[in-house]
């Protein structure tokens, strides 16, 4: 593996399980071929292109071209035989759009399906966190509680997925005038989400798309990763959420450190996943 640098992956994390290409409506610079080249240059063995499937107004009516996307995946698999190229999709609020999401999933076999929330229902309308303006008079406490409730509904909803993506997503758009974000202020709500995810045997994504200190750089941060361990969560999925080839595997050194410090180890069964080792059973009388 290439010498360690900013954003380079740790040796044990040789898969990026959340990457967007030009097939995602919000990733015009997300070239699939270039992302594969970047992954190989970093020493990755797996890259998963989990394209957006959003049905809210934010997507502007854009829909994933499943046939074209799967053709591009097949092309990359031929061009990069040393790299495992996974197909995938990131379903945005599929519990609100179960018919559309189910129809999309029926159009092809996806190696990885993420479930995510980017918005909440506020005052009877959809509020997208990425569209929060600095002049917003929204109450961050109400928005965050609505967000965590939306996540719980996502998990308990009718559309199945494997990975709960970028928990604490609203941190990316936190306004300067708001009190500092503290997960302890929402401990009860977050634990309800984590417990539901554990019951459904989901993997929790450790999303690395932001730089800086661990609290802000990772979604979720170290405190919530610790709570995931405490409620019995067994799997972490590591993904950069790259929308540009240069961001593939960015932040993986930090993610590996946080995962290891919380008691997770790289999975021997599936690259990109971190698991909690099973505790050996004591013999009778031991």
Domains observed in the chain: 15-275 (3.20.20.140)
pLDDT of residue 136: 66
Q: What is the mean pLDDT of each run of 10 residues along the chain (286 residues)?
A: 41 82 95 97 96 86 92 98 97 96 92 96 83 75 95 97 97 90 97 98 93 80 97 96 95 92 91 78 43
pLDDT of residue 12: 47
User: To which H or E segment does residue 75 belong?
Assistant: helix 66-79
Angle at 245 between CA 248 and CA 204, to 5 degrees: 30
Cβ distance 227 to 191 under 8 Å? yes
User: Strand, coil or helix: what is 35?
Assistant: helix
Angle at 191 between CA 188 and CA 194, to 5 degrees: 155
User: Whose CA is closest to 236, among 12, 8, 3?
Assistant: 12
Angle at 241 between CA 113 and CA 235, to 5 degrees: 55
pLDDT of residue 62: 82
pLDDT of residue 242: 96
Bridge pairing between strands 235-239 and 273-275:
antiparallel
- What number of other Cβ atoms are within 10 A of residue 238's Cβ? 31
- Between CA 149 and CA 250 the distance in angstroms is 30
Radius of gyration for the alpha carbons in the chain, expressed in angstroms and rounded: 19
pTM: 0.91
């Amino acid at each position: 593996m290439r010498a360690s640098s900013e954003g380079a992956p740790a040796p044990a994390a040789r898969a990026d399980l959340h990457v967007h290409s030009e097939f995602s409506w919000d990733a015009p610079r997300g070239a699939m071929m270039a992302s594969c080249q970047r992954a190989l240059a970093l020493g990755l063995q797996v890259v998963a292109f989990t394209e957006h499937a959003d049905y809210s107004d934010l997507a502007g009516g854009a829909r994933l071209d499943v046939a074209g996307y799967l053709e591009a995946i097949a092309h990359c698999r031929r061009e990069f035989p040393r790299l495992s190229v996974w197909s995938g999709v990131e379903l945005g609020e599929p519990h609100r759009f179960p018919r559309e999401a189910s129809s999309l999933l029926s159009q092809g076999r996806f190696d990885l399906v993420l479930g995510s929330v980017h918005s909440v229902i506020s005052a009877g309308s959809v509020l997208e966190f990425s569209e929060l303006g600095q002049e917003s008079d929204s109450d961050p406490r109400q928005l965050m509680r609505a967000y965590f409730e939306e996540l719980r509904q996502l998990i308990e909803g009718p559309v199945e997925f494997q990975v709960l993506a970028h928990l604490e997503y609203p941190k990316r758009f936190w306004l300067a005038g708001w009190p500092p974000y503290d997960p302890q202020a929402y401990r009860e709500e977050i634990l309800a989400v984590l417990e539901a995810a554990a019951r459904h045997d989901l993997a929790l994504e450790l999303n690395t798309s932001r730089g800086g200190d661990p609290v802000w750089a990772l979604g979720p941060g170290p405190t919530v990763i610790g709570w995931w361990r405490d409620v019995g969560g067994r799997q972490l999925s590591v993904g950069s959420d790259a929308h540009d080839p240069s961001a593939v595997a960015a932040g993986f050194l930090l993610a590996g450190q946080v995962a290891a410090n919380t008691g997770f180890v790289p999975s021997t069964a599936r690259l990109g996943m971190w698991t909690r080792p099973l505790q050996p059973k004591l013999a009778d009388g031991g």
